[in-house]
């Protein structure tokens, strides 16, 4: 991390001492409030410390979804030392830190409680969890039943720190949450303020391009706590196989006007994260060195943000 000023360190200490997880100003949201857009910090991995904050602010984002995981802006084993000053610097640039993206799978994940304790002290309420995979040797229903006691334990840990885990939905064979309906079975009966869903509309459209994403969004609503946005279309590779080709926002198959209309009707008010998965000089993969001019990368990010805000305006979400 770039050198952070002594003032930032002092501010961070004050934040840890005085912030409440449920009352911090940059985490308070209510239905109907303007949705604010955060950038997933993975895509700014080539920036550190104050440069990360300056870059996100200059791009026009409202906040940063901060990666606190191996290879992220904050390493989990150093979270108590490194997260508070970085959050302080980001907030000093007028940005929110509405959530963290973590490697937490269950309560037993190394450094899980350190992360929750530190984020709670900073008034950050939401974090991304997940990464479960099905075994082909057991029935799916049996595996879900086996995981539920561990979800219960994670929910109890979240309750202790008054934070919310949001299971991120990906697409792909064997991934828990790809169809999203399985998350309904996994989470049913648990407090959605403790374990919920981070609904990725891009991946949901990959899995259910015609109407599946509509139904999966509807069944997710009681547990919907976060939304991630990206776009894609199907494309044949050199061997004639159909592959997902990630695209800039508005250039793919995701039905954003319909989706954000549904979001508006749902009363959703949680963290909204913008991702950049299409080729972008390494920023798409979280590289620390870019192969494109930085301004070219920034311009693509600005255009995606502009397009998302246009969709939000159409849905009266800004």
Domain-embedded: residue 269: yes
Q: What is the pTM of this model?
A: 0.89
**Residue 65, token pair as written in the block:** 């979804």
What gap in Å lies between CA 313 and CA 318, rounded to an integer?
A: 5
**Residue 168, token pair as written in the block:** 């991120």
Q: What is the pLDDT of residues 261-312, one digit of tens each?
A: 999 999 999 999 999 999 999 999 999 999 999 999 999 999 999 999 999 9
Domain-embedded: residue 144: yes
Number of domains into which the chain is organized: 1
Q: What is the pLDDT of residues 115-168, one digit of tens each?
A: 999 999 999 999 999 999 999 999 999 999 999 999 999 999 999 999 999 999
**Residue 254, token pair as written in the block:** 């995701």
Domain-embedded: residue 116: yes
CATH number, position 143: 3.20.20.150
Question: Hunting for tokens 């069944």 — which residue is that?
Answer: 219
What gap in Å lies between CA 123 and CA 16, rounded to an integer?
A: 8
Helices (H) and strands (E) in the chain, counts: 10, 10
Domain-embedded: residue 1: no
* 21 pLDDT higher than 90: no
Q: Could you write out the DSSP letters of every residue in 12-38?
A: HHHHHHH--TTT-GGG---TTSPP-EE
In the beta sheet, which residues pair with residue 227?
199, 272
pLDDT band at 5 (very low <50, low <70, confident <90, very high): very low
From the CA atom positions of the chain, what is the Rg in Å? 19
Q: What is the pLDDT of residues 126-135, one digit of tens each?
A: 999 999 999 9
- What is the domain extent for residue 66? 6-314
């Amino acid at each position: 991390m770039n050198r952070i000023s002594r003032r930032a360190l002092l501010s961070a200490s004050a934040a840890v001492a005085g912030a409440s997880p449920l009352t911090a100003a940059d985490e308070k949201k209510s239905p109907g409030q303007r949705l604010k857009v955060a950038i997933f910090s993975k895509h700014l991995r080539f920036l550190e410390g104050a440069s990360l904050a300056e870059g996100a602010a200059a791009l026009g984002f409202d906040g940063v979804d901060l990666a606190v995981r191996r290879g992220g802006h904050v390493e989990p084993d150093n979270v108590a030392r490194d997260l508070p000053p970085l959050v302080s610097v980001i907030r000093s640039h007028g940005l929110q830190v509405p959530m963290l993206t973590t490697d937490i799978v269950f309560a037993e994940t190394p450094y899980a409680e350190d992360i929750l304790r530190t984020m709670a002290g900073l008034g950050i309420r939401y974090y991304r969890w997940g990464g479960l995979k099905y075994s082909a040797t057991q029935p799916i229903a049996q595996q879900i039943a086996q995981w539920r006691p561990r979800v219960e334990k994670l929910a109890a840990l979240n309750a202790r720190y008054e934070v919310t885990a949001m299971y991120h939905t990906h697409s792909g064979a064997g991934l828990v949450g790809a169809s999203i309906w399985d998350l309904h079975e996994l989470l049913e009966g648990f407090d959605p303020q403790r374990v919920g869903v981070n609904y990725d509309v891009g991946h949901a459209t990959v899995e259910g391009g015609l109407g599946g994403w509509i139904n999966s969004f509807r069944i997710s609503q009681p547990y919907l706590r976060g939304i991630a946005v990206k776009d894609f279309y199907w494309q044949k590779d050199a061997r004639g196989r159909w592959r997902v080709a990630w695209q800039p926002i508005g250039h793919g198959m995701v039905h954003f006007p319909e989706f954000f209309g549904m979001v508006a009707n749902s009363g959703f008010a949680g963290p909204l994260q913008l991702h950049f998965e299409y080729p972008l000089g390494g920023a798409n993969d979280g590289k620390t060195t870019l192969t494109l001019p930085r301004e070219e990368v920034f311009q693509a990010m600005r255009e995606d943000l502009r397009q998302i805000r246009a969709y939000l305006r159409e849905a009266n979400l800004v």
